[in-house]
Amino acid sequence: MASVGREARRTRTCPWWLMAFVDDRVRALVQPTAPVLASLVAPGHACLDVGCGMGYFTVPLPRLVGPSGQVIAVDVQPRMLQGGARRLEREGLADRVSLYLATQSDWVRPEHYDFILAFWMLHEVPDRQGFLATLRQVLKPRGHFLLVEPRIHVGERLWRESLALAEAVGFHSRETRPVRFSRAALLR
């Protein structure tokens, strides 16, 4: 098998079958959602879960925003969204979340958000700066953007580069967040 260069690995999306295996009860023990979302989401908030995968973090969001809030979940893989839809249906939350299949160039909805989550997915985006610039445009002035990347795929150099790109498009006030197995920053 030929080796894959670092750039090619960075722009490859996580296969749906891997998330079906990973997003289970073990993950809830190792990486619970409550500490990740604590103090960032409140009733009435509009939230965007970009690169939502099978909805591991999507499911708790409608409970946190309540009936007056809004949750949009976006992914580029149909099977990821199908898995998320099944999970939301099981939890009785399917009518409280809007799921969207996106393309690399048309993925964000025109709304403005109080909270945006990009969990373990920025390293898969070919144009990280353009992606971050779009997130900056749709984040409300007092909103929060939680950027989380996996330590196994994103080394310190790539992480610092991503944070510098975020600053270049207008994000600021970096605050490190403790998320297991991850590098995480809260951006405003």
Residue 103 has what pLDDT? 75
Answer whether 128's CB lies under 8 Å from 149's CB. no
- Listing DSSP states for 108-175 in one string gives --S--EEEEEEES-GGG-S-HHHHHHHHHHHEEEEEEEEEEEETTT--HHHHHHHHHHHHHTT----E
Judge whether residue 173 has pLDDT over 80.
no
The Cα 133–Cα 187 span in angstroms is 13
Span between the terminal Cα atoms of the chain, in Å: 43
**pLDDT tens digits, 54-95:** 999 999 999 999 999 999 999 999 999 999 999 999 999 999
Q: What is the mean pLDDT of the chain?
A: 87
Residue 6 has what pLDDT? 37
Q: Which two tokens stand for residue 12?
A: 């490859």
Closest CA to 122 of 21, 51, 20: 51
Domain assignments of the chain as residue spans, ordered by start:
6-187
**pLDDT tens digits, 138-168:** 999 999 999 999 999 999 999 999 999 999 9
Q: Which CATH architecture is the domain 6-187 placed in?
A: 3-Layer(aba) Sandwich (3.40)
Give the bridge partners for 48, in sequence order. 72, 116
**pLDDT tens digits, 107-128:** 667 689 999 999 999 999 999 9
Per-residue pLDDT band at 10 (split at 50, 70, 90): very low
Q: What is the mean pLDDT of residues 14-37?
A: 72
